[in-house]
Amino acid sequence: MYDKTVRRRRAVLALLVVLSLILLTAYFGEASSGGLHSVQRGFLTVVSPIQNGANKALKPVRDLIGWFGDTLHAKGQRDELRKQVDKLRREVIANNAEKASYRELLSLYKLDNQLSVNDYHPVTATVVAKSPNVWYSTVTIDKGESSGVHVNDPVINAEGLVGKVAQAASDGAQVTLITDSSVGVSARIGTSGATGIVQPKVGDPNDLLLQYLPANTQANKGEYVVTSGTVSSPDDSLYPPGIPIGQVTSTNEESAYRSVNVHPLANLHNLDVVQVLTAASGSLPSNLSRLAANLPAGQHSSASGEALASTGGG
């Protein structure tokens, strides 16, 4: 009895395996128009409506199960996307900062070409600290004496004149902005050529005043005020001529002289990249600066408070 059972069991297994192999071989070997394929297609034709019906009937079940899966998946995706958003946000911020720096550097480059600032050995520096008070009269840059930066070197950016170096350390320097009361810059009005001294306006640190202009000076609103290339005192730095300082906003009538209000072109509240015109020793600007500084007081200070220490071609 036992042997018969075992034999039958094995026979069934062998039969099913052989049947499977025959099916497999026949199906695999025949063309798509063969008999087994036709049977399969026929089965599919019969079963398709049932499958469709079952599919529709079971859709709520599928949706329910899928809802749990989707929820878990969505949570994972949400966390992943949050990370991506954070990463992309950081990248955007970094890109924007780089873009701004690039624009500033590009503008500086253009300014260099226009004004021949390269003669003054510009050193590009980054503002690393700003005066915390509302006046923003000083900033700290990351270049110092080791880069050739010295006291009184002019500092510019892409928009125009920024200020001058007040103190220089080995790897950093403090820059006094043109809105600081200690700064006076010899300047001229672009079209008329009338020269005067630009100083901060008392009571309004964001505005400048071009003073000591001849009484007959014509200054229209919107005209550019640029550096004249002269010094007003031995302590002054020699600003290269033609660097934009600001635009005329209004004119003031005074007794002997005329003054105009000037709005600075450089956004002094948002400085990032600047250039220090180091005028290396032995260069023409350096020599002129030294010459002007050594002149007796009467020779470099005229009635308008300005010595005509012209830079010549510079």
Q: Which residues bind other proteins (CB under 8 A)?
A: 5, 8-9, 12-13, 16-17, 19-28, 36, 39-40, 43-44, 47, 50-51, 54-55, 58, 61-62, 65-66, 69
Cβ atoms within 10 Å, residue 149: 24
Closest distance of CB 62 from other proteins, Å: 5
Closest distance of CB 78 from other proteins, Å: 18
Query: 117 and 282 in contact (C-beta within 8 Å)?
Result: no
Which amino acid is it at 8?
Answer: R
Separation of alpha carbons 270 and 146, rounded Å: 26
Vertex 201 angle, CA 293 and 160, to 5°: 65
Separation of alpha carbons 241 and 187, rounded Å: 8
Closest distance of CB 21 from other proteins, Å: 7
Separation of alpha carbons 156 and 135, rounded Å: 18
Residue 45 makes CB contacts below 8 A (sequence gap 6+) with: none
Of 36 and 151, CB closest to other proteins:
36
Closest distance of CB 80 from other proteins, Å: 15
Of 8 and 75, CB closest to other proteins:
8
Closest distance of CB 2 from other proteins, Å: 10
Closest distance of CB 48 from other proteins, Å: 10
DSSP assignment of 30-73: S-TTSHHHHHHHHHHHHHHHHHHHHHHHTHHHHHHHHHHHHHHH
Of 48 and 310, CB closest to other proteins:
48
Of 43 and 102, CB closest to other proteins:
43
Of 39 and 291, CB closest to other proteins:
39
DSSP assignment of 245-258: EEEEEEEEE-SSEE
Of 8 and 221, CB closest to other proteins:
8
Of 12 and 85, CB closest to other proteins:
12
Phi then psi for residue 163, to 5 deg, are 170, -150
Closest distance of CB 3 from other proteins, Å: 14
Phi-psi region of 203 (alpha: psi -120 to 50; beta: other; left: phi over 0): left
